[in-house]
Structure 1
Amino acid sequence: MFAHGYGCDQNMWRAVVPSFEDEYRVVLFDYVGSGLSDLSSFNRTRYSSLTGYAADVIEIIEELGLDRVTFIGHSVSSMIGALAAIERPKLFEQIVMIGPSPSYINDGDYVGGFGRSDIEDLLEMLDNNHAGWSAMMAPIIMGNPDRPELAAELEASFCKTDPVHAQHFARVTFLSDNRSDLVKLHTRTLILQCAEDAIAPLSVGQYVHRCLPESQLIVMDATGHCPHLSSPGPVTDAIRAFI
């Protein structure tokens, strides 16, 4: 089960999924408010925290009659998958977290990568200028400045997301703090961390690894926050070796 990150949709997995289709049943989906999802299903109360999105993951698994799921989550989906596995551990055999972050905001000894004022400024800009925010943030998130077509694709994905839903999901994502939840996760976990990531720095991946005794951390020789797009080969190899 592949779960996309903020501002993206299931199409972002297109370079990874073909390597698994012959041996596994593959499930792709769009979160409510993303991609081709039914926007009328959006409920501000349900999705006021990541637990609402985790509940959707569980509902999809139950609807399809799945068990022993390998959940592969990018960015915020790493924490969504963790919350789902904490709630219903018997459904999940293992989790792969790509660029996870339980909290994006620095707090004492914890280095999340951003000051609170930085996050508040980013959210305010998103509220006031969705297109401008997308154009500014896509190259930062993607990295790999020598391949501008990747940042252009991410920017287009951001821009096609309905602004109201983009603003809501951004607040839920970047203001969430799931550090206390990590100790409740006992599912076997692989953490894939890029050596250079402006959104989830190495210190965050190491923190998640320390909090999860059943985890394995792989630091890839890759740049940016979306290695499944920029370095799909190493991502695929790492997932296959893990599962």
Structure 2
Amino acid sequence: MTCTIKKKNNVVIEGNLDATKTLVFAHGFGTDQTAWNWVKEFFEDDYRLVLFDNVGAGNADPDAYNSIKYNNLKTYANDLLDILADLELWNATIIAHSVSCMITLLAASKAPEHFSKMVFLNASARYLNDDSANYIGGFTQDALNGMYNAMASNYYAWASGFSVVAMGNTDRPQLGEQFAYTLSAVRPDVALSAAKIIFESDVRNELDKLDKQVLLLQSSEDIAVPTAATAYLHQHIKGSKLQYLRATGHFPHISAPAEVAAAIKSFI
């Protein structure tokens, strides 16, 4: 692939390089491609694997980030399309977590030829409640404003606390510490900007445009995505399949990788 795109998004190609099928893994907010380390090993013998870091995260090129350019999810969707086009990937299977699910959906609506099947892990079309539409997203604007203030006043203290709550699985504190590490590695101003974009995004009007095979995977006790938000996705993405996991927390691919991998395998 071209050096520019590889550097920009820290694109990594691994697994079975001779395989005829490719899996693309897309990470969520506060993490990077290493979040898939425990899931990808279940597929490395039979698939070519493509992993990358969203601009502003992980080892993506820090010079590529611009707060004006990256002020909506569509910019990230265009980055995903650039990666797929550069690798000449058509009908690829995308496995996405959290905000990258809606980034993938936007990309697929724009250039569907690059996609075949999609796995959306702990996804949400809108994180804010919408009382006018009886929509439960899980957050109020006041709650988000409080989070933004906490991020702005002491980002690293906020990251330490948020990582524990979001990860859950308090009996395994090392999982929360791992998320805290990648979350703290994000530049505070970038994290705050990204959080506002993500938590105030609304992709509900785009859902019915998707015409691909979609598996929705959702764990319980997810502070970011209530089951009502997942049910909404299932209702509005035609032909989607919904599977509730035994895993808990917002990061089942980290806390329960074997269960997530088994669900993906049965789908693809």
Does the alignment reach a TM-score above 0.5? yes
1:20 positional shift: 1.2
In 1, distance between residues paired with 2:105 and 2:111?
10
| Paired residues for 1:104-183 under 5 Å | 104-108=127-131, 109-183=134-208
Partner of 2:11: none
Match of 1:50 among 56, 70, 73: 73
Partner of residue 93 from structure 2, selected from 49, 65, 70: 70
Identity of aligned residues (%): 39
* Residues 162-171 or 55-64, more deviating: 162-171
TM-score normalised per structure 1: 0.98
SS of residue paired to 1:14:
helix
Separation of aligned partners in 1, 2:147 and 2:64: 27
- Alignment partner for residue 235 of structure 2, among 204, 210, 214? 210
CA distance in 1, matches of 2:39, 2:228: 26
Instruction: Report the CA distance between 1:45 and its aligned residue.
Output: 2.7
| Aligned residue type for 1:85 | A
Where structure 2 has 5 or more consecutive residues not aligned to the other structure, the ranges are 1-23
TM-score by length of 2: 0.89
Distance 1:3 1:166 in 2: 17
Per the TM alignment, residue 184 of structure 1 is displaced from its structure 2 partner at its CA by 1.1
8 Å Cα contact 2:74-2:106 kept in structure 1:
yes
Give the paired residue count.
243
Of 44, 48, 53, the residue aligned with 1:30 is: 53
Distance 1:195 1:162 in 2: 30
Q: Is the 8 A contact 2:67 2:190 kept in 1?
A: no
Pairwise CA RMSD: 0.9
1:17 maps to what in 2?
40
Secondary structure of 2:138's counterpart equals: coil
Q: Which runs of 4+ in 1 moved over 6 A?
A: none
Partner of residue 3, structure 1: 26
Question: How far apart in 1 are the matches of 2:87 and 2:66?
Answer: 23
Partner of 1:102: 125
Question: Can you list the C-alpha shifts for 1:107-165, whole angstroms capped at 9, x where unaligned?
Answer: 12111111111011111211221101101111111011111110111111111111121
Give the distance between the partners of 1:129 and 1:180, measured in 2 at CA: 35
- Secondary structure at 1:15's aligned position in 2? helix
Aligned equivalents of 1:127 and 1:193: distance in 2? 30
Runs of 5+ in structure 1 lacking a partner?
none
Q: 1:230 aligns with which of 228, 246, 255?
A: 255
- Match of 2:118, SS state, is strand
Q: Deviations over 1:175-205 (max 9, x none)?
A: 1111111111111100000122111011111
